[in-house]
Amino acid sequence: MQLELSNISKQFGELRALHEVTLSVPEFQSLAIIGPSGGGKTTLLRIISGLEIPDTGSLRIDDREIGFSEDALLSHRRSIGTVFQAYNLFPHLTALENVVLPLVKVHGLSATAARDTAVELFERFQLLNHAGRRPAELSGGQQQRVAIVRAIAIKPRFFIFDEPTSALDPEMTSEVLDFIAELRKEGRNLIIVTHNMGFARHVSDHCLFIAEGRVLENERSTELFSAPQNPLLVNFLAKVLRY
C-alpha cells in the first residue's frame, strides 16, 4: 500500500489541526500514527478516511488521487473498513444485525447474502454465541470485535483504526489488539492511530509521529522506535514508555 499527502492543512476556528503536511510512504502493509493528544493524528486519519475535507492539499492512495467532492468521498468511504474508539454500533439492533444492515443498505447485498456473510464471519471469529445480543449486553471488547467484523464484512481495500482500545480495560485491550494483529498476519492493509506504543511497534512496519499539526518523523517502525531523531519524539517516547 502507498500513501502520499501534499500540502494538507486543516483548521477548526482558531485551531490549526494540520499545517501543510507533505509526506510520502512508498510501501507499507501496516502504518501506525502516533503522537500527543491534540497533535493532529486523528484529523489526519479522518482526512485519509474521507470523513474530513482538508482546507488545502491533495491525497493519493496507491497512486490514485482521492477527490474531495461529495460523490468521490462517498465512494472512497464505502471502500474502507473504519473502526472507531466508540464502536458506533446501533444500540437497538443485535450484534448480527449491526453487520447485516450496512451490507444491505449501503453495499447492496440481498438480505440472505448479507446474513450468510455475517454468520460466516461471526463463526470464524468466535462471536456466534453473541450474535443475538444487543450492544448493551456485550462487553466493550466484544462490541469492538463486532465493529471490526462489520468492517471486514464489506471486503475493504484497507482498514482504518482510530484508537480502537482507548475505552477498554487492559484485558479487553489485549483481546482487541490480538484481533487486529491477526488481520495483519492475514495480509490485510492497516492504518492505525494508537496510544499503545508496544502495539504500534509490534504490528506496524511504518510509523508517523505527529505533533503540533506537523509530521515530524516518517520512518520504518524499527528505526523510529529504536533511534528517534526529533526532540519532541524523544521526549514523547520517554514519557509514554516510562511505566
Residue 85: the pLDDT is 78
Identify the CATH class of 27-56+68-79+158-243: alpha beta
- The reported pLDDT for the residue numbered 182 is 87
Report yes or no: 217 and 185 within 8 Å, Cβ to Cβ: no
Q: In the prediction, which pLDDT does 88 show?
A: 83
**Mean pLDDT, the chain cut into blocks of 10 residues (243 residues total):** 96 94 94 94 94 96 93 93 85 95 93 95 91 93 90 93 80 81 90 90 94 96 94 93 72
pTM attached to this predicted model: 0.90
What is the per-residue pLDDT for 164?
80
Query: Tell me, what's the pLDDT at 15?
Result: 92
Q: Which three cell numbers stand for residue 94?
A: 443485535
Closest C-alpha to 37, from 236, 199, 242, 180? 236
Write down the pLDDT at residue 25: 95
**Per-residue pLDDT at 215:** 96
Query: Please, what sign has the CA dihedral across residues 59, 2, 77, 224?
Result: negative
Query: What angle, rounded to 10 degrees, do the helices at 95-105 and 111-124 form?
Result: 140
Cell of 103: 451490507
Sequence ranges of the domains in the chain: 27-56+68-79+158-243, 90-156
